[in-house]
């Protein structure tokens, strides 16, 4: 691991490249567990870049070797729908009956469908 040069700020704060933690971008961290197929949101942290975010996420969120993969996504690149507008967002799916398997005849042996 490369050693980063620290620069002393006017207030005596030593940090890489002179940036303070609250000035670093916020990163959302996703971890894929050993027996899982999907990444799950583990939390958020501030880091200067993606490499630092992954290293910090490893230290903070996988201390017991729980994960096999880490995703770090800068928060400003995540876009979300508004929960208050859910009905209009999902309205087009309501008229697509083929997405709902309610018209299939299932055998009696099939109990957990």
* pLDDT digits (tens), the chain, 113 positions: 443 433 334 444 444 444 554 699 999 999 998 877 899 999 999 999 999 999 999 999 998 888 899 999 999 999 999 999 888 887 766 667 666 667 677 788 877 66
Are 8 and 14 in contact by the 8 Å Cβ rule? The answer is: yes
Please enumerate in sequence order all residues whose Cβ is within 8 A of that of 45, keeping only pairs 6 or more positions apart, or say none: 26, 27, 29, 53, 56, 57, 60
Of 3.30.70.120, 3.40.50.12280, 3.10.20.520, 1.20.120.1200, which CATH number belongs to 6-79?
3.10.20.520
Q: What is the CA radius of gyration of the chain?
A: 22
Please enumerate in sequence order all residues whose Cβ is within 8 A of that of 91, keeping only pairs 6 or more positions apart, or say none: none
The ranges assigned to domains in the chain are: 6-79
Are 24 and 6 in contact by the 8 Å Cβ rule? The answer is: no
The structure's pTM equals 0.61
Max CA separation in the chain (angstroms):
75
């Amino acid at each position: 691991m490369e050693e980063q040069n620290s620069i002393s700020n006017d207030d005596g704060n030593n940090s890489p490249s002179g940036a303070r933690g609250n000035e670093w971008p916020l990163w959302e961290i996703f971890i894929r567990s050993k027996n899982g197929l999907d990444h799950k949101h583990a939390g958020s942290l501030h880091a200067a870049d993606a490499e630092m975010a992954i290293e910090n996420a490893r230290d903070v969120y996988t201390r017991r070797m729980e994960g096999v993969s880490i995703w770090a996504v800068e928060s400003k690149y995540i876009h979300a729908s508004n929960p208050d507008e859910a009905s209009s967002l999902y309205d087009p799916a309501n008229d697509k009956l083929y997405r709902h398997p309610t018209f299939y005849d299932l055998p009696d042996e099939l109990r957990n469908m």
